Chains A and B, each alone.
Chain A
Amino acid sequence: MCNKFLEIKNVTFSASKLNKIKKVSFSIDKEGEIVSLLGPSGIGKTTILRTIAGLQKLDEGKIFLKNKLISSNNFILEPEKRNIALSFQDNSLFPNYTILENINFGVKRNNNTKFKYSAEDLIKILKLEGLSKKFPHQISAGEAQRVSLARSLMSKPDLLLLDEPFANIDQSLKEELQFQIKKLLKEINITTIIVTHDSYEAFYMADKCGILLNDSLKQYDIPYNIHHEPNSMEVARFLNRGVFVNAKVISSNCAVHKLEHKELGIIEGKLSNNFPVGSGVKLLLQPEDLEHDDQSSLKLEVVDRKFRGTNFIYTLQTEEKEKIPVFVHSHHIHQHKLKESFGIKTPIFIDHLVCF
């Protein structure tokens, strides 16, 4: 018997006969933690939530909530007896009730005294003012999603499951809502699992983050580590934050490692995985790893330029045809055109050298 709030033990989740996520194990140690599961669309993230909620059977493995078995291949505790709330991605509001009645639908479920919010408070926090008396078909998809979230919260669940909670919400409102909801979840100490395909959202909202790729859980760690120390090329590629270039390990001591790239020269930093000196590696270069310097003698040709509002991402090409992305603040004194040469600051130092 474990002593964890939620434990998923070797569970195979099946969305369909062919679409399965196999042998998933992770746990939430303390009550009130927020975990996000990040993966591409169609991989079966929703299936995981539905299985935890008891709406779907599992093929193998066990799920424990507060040390109590709630699902295994031959046992399933009915969803109404789990005290787990799931906020669906699609509109699952009760069409014959008003928004306020919808929010209050599960309010009598239990008397969690820690929960001090009323339906009106949640309406305010989730920016749903003026909708109380309307019916679900009269509100937008984004509003419906927030009502669904409020309804789930009002049932004071032990575990809250959110399926793409910000999918239908405008970018401008999204960030504010993320802030408000995170604050709220932390204040009332509700353990939450969020499923999303947006890495920024996953990293911001969660204490821990799981990466689902192909048919398994590839990495489960704190967001910082996932970003800086992805444990496989697959994870790094999925996060889509950089490119892999060929390099060679030339020296290694406890504090600093040195790699050599044919054109970039020496790159210093701390290797996340140990490689013997002399071995060839694939080094992950993310846009923020290299710095621009007009005075530098190390120059590469600009082959593409993306304007991202606060910054530009220049794509530089080596003679070996490797394409390397570099961030430059958009207030930088001048801009570079295509085919111009672009200076890179040397010596190059990267905090985390992610190599495979």
Chain B
Amino acid sequence: MFLKKINYWYISSLLVTLIVAIPVSTVLLSSFNFSFEYLILLKNTFLLNYVSNSIILLFGVLILTFIFGVCSAYFVSFYTFPGVNFFSWALILSFAVPPYIYAYSLTAFFENYGTLFSILTNLFGEHEYNKHIPKFDGMLGSIISMSFSIFAYVYVLARASFYFQSHNLIEVSKNLGLTTKQSFFKIILPSARPAIVVGLSLVAMETLSDFGTVSFFSISTLTTAIYNSWLAFDDLKTANLLSFVLLLFVFIIFLTENLSRNGAKYHQPSKGYRPIPKIKLNGLKSFSIITFCSLLLFFSFIFPLSQMLYWTIKFPKYFFDLDIINLNINTLSIVVLSCFILIFFSFLTNYANRVTKSKILKYLSAFSISGYAIPGVILGVSLITFFAWLSDFLGSMFNIPSIKSIFIGSLMGLIIAYFVRFYSLAFNGIKSGYSQINQSIDESSYLLGHSKFKTFTLIHFPHLKNSVFLIGILLSVEIIRELPLTLILRPYNFETFATQAYNYAAQDLLEAAAVPSLFLILWASIFIFITSKYILSEK
């Protein structure tokens, strides 16, 4: 009887793991075959270029996000100055602006006869301003766009780590005669290192998997190469080989992150934890820090938001041309549906792990969260490869008519892709909620005569509903921003804010891209606002 119950859990967890395993195994299996057309074209000339561009972009973004993220986190964690509470959550709003939309704003503002040109003309009259306005495009534009829109990964993690730092250590360092600056470099920064490395590795993965920004600025990186070889040359094999190279990069980052986590123990809050008393700032110091935080907030969030708002107002034609209601329905329905499925399966596997305590289930779920490390472009291409293969296989073996249309260019395929990509977020979120419920609470419920299912409905679900809400919101932000996967796998004529904005931008219609971009930013801001308030109240 007991074994029967286990089987359901095994099957569901196995299913989840198998779905997530598809992209990795497809890439690995396909990358051993070397006779492709596009590869020959790029072999001696471009591959090196792709790799070096990816590396330059990666390091540029890492340096900037480190400076933005760590400095702002340090200021809001250790000092009080006017607006500190506002900044501590408002800086997270930069998440609402995806890098590709930031890129559109940056170009729109600085381009010839762009927004800055209009402002200057209005203020000082007509003049040849275009010569003097700096141009942020190409690699520099990509690095700036990416850094401002994803520095919050470093900010959030560094802030959490600073918040939980041992007050005693800081007091001891001061007692031993270290100045504030010395104790920052010798005590605070080293003990927050693991958290910062985790933040930077998330930044690295986002940067490597970015498609929208680099393709907009025409920078050839591994991601654009994968997309082009698939779309322009219809060469899935090359796409898979390039994906293999990119996955190697991701794997190295993954490894670095894991190694650095080993040291993460020593800065966890202990029972006798006391929050660090903040230092009150006045005068010039306070002014400089407020300026820094304000500029960061301005450049990361207010600037792109205003640019999009400005264009929407300036070119109302595009607003009325666009089927806004339909876009809203499309985007929100896919977000809600995906969230529901992700949370449902995360609950199922987490609950299975808890009830059965099976080691095999634990390993399966550990593997199934690897999906988030796979860049969206690779995921899209490899899912298509897999479904095409499956369809051919089923067709030749069992004479089943093609099933490609069920999975490729369908909502089902898109949701499966989101599932693979974001499953780790949902699974880990529910897992951390579950870790707060003592095992003896379940046992008490059984002993009071309640079945496992009733324990779930009466105890677990009500207790976890806040976590579920929070995870739902976080997933929504991620899904609403997601571009390459949606672009590759969406059904024909099915547009979301992200794809609509991309389509217009790709046709050089930046003014038209403003409306969907604005809606995307607004929705994401609402989600982030709720989340950041929640996180701050929970600390």
- Bound-complex Cα distance A179 to B461 (A): 39
Shortest beta-carbon distance, A135 to chain B, in Å?
11
The verdict on B15 contacting chain A, using a C-beta distance below 8 Å, is no
Q: Are A94 and B459 in contact (CB under 8 A)?
A: yes
Could you say which of B447, B450, B451 contacts A53, with CB atoms under 8 Å apart?
A: B447
- Bound-complex Cα distance A106 to B445 (A): 8
Cβ contacts under 8 Å, A94 to chain B:
441, 444-445, 458-459, 463
Cβ contacts under 8 Å, B458 to chain A:
94
Cβ contacts under 8 Å, A78 to chain B:
446
Shortest beta-carbon distance, B210 to chain A, in Å?
41
A residues with CB within 8 A of B: 50, 53, 55, 78-80, 82-86, 88, 90-96, 105-106, 109-110, 148, 151-152, 155
- Bound-complex Cα distance A109 to B441 (A): 17
11 A-B pairs in the complex with CB atoms less than 8 angstroms apart: A79-B446, A80-B447, A83-B449, A84-B447, A86-B443, A88-B443, A88-B444, A92-B440, A93-B441, A96-B463, A110-B449
- Bound-complex Cα distance A91 to B446 (A): 16
- Bound-complex Cα distance A105 to B438 (A): 17
> Given A105-B448, A109-B448, A92 and B443 touching (CB < 8 A)?
yes
- Specify the main secondary structure of chain B where it touches its partner: helix
B residues with CB within 8 A of A: 437-438, 440-441, 443-451, 458-459, 462-463
Shortest beta-carbon distance, A23 to chain B, in Å?
26
Q: Are B443 and A80 in contact (CB under 8 A)?
A: no
Shortest beta-carbon distance, A157 to chain B, in Å?
8
Shortest beta-carbon distance, A83 to chain B, in Å?
7
Cβ contacts under 8 Å, B449 to chain A:
80, 83, 106, 109-110, 155
Closest to A107 in B: B448
> Given A86-B444, A88-B444, A95-B463, A80 and B437 touching (CB < 8 A)?
no
Q: Are B438 and A91 in contact (CB under 8 A)?
A: yes
Cβ contacts under 8 Å, A53 to chain B:
443, 447
> Given A55-B443, A96-B463, A155 and B448 touching (CB < 8 A)?
yes
Q: Are B447 and A96 in contact (CB under 8 A)?
A: no
- Bound-complex Cα distance A71 to B426 (A): 39
Q: Are A92 and B459 in contact (CB under 8 A)?
A: no
The 5 closest A-B pairs by CB, nearest first: A106-B448, A92-B440, A109-B449, A79-B446, A96-B462
Closest to A90 in B: B440
Cβ contacts under 8 Å, A86 to chain B:
443-444, 447
Could you say which of B441, B446, B462, B463 contacts A80, with CB atoms under 8 Å apart?
A: B446
- Bound-complex Cα distance A88 to B447 (A): 11
Shortest beta-carbon distance, B91 to chain A, in Å?
31
Q: Which of B440, B450, B451 has the most CB of A within 10 A?
A: B440
Cβ contacts under 8 Å, B462 to chain A:
96
Q: Are A85 and B446 in contact (CB under 8 A)?
A: no
Q: Are B438 and A80 in contact (CB under 8 A)?
A: no
- Bound-complex Cα distance A53 to B445 (A): 12
Closest to B444 in A: A92
> Given A55-B443, A79-B443, A86-B443, A95 and B437 touching (CB < 8 A)?
yes
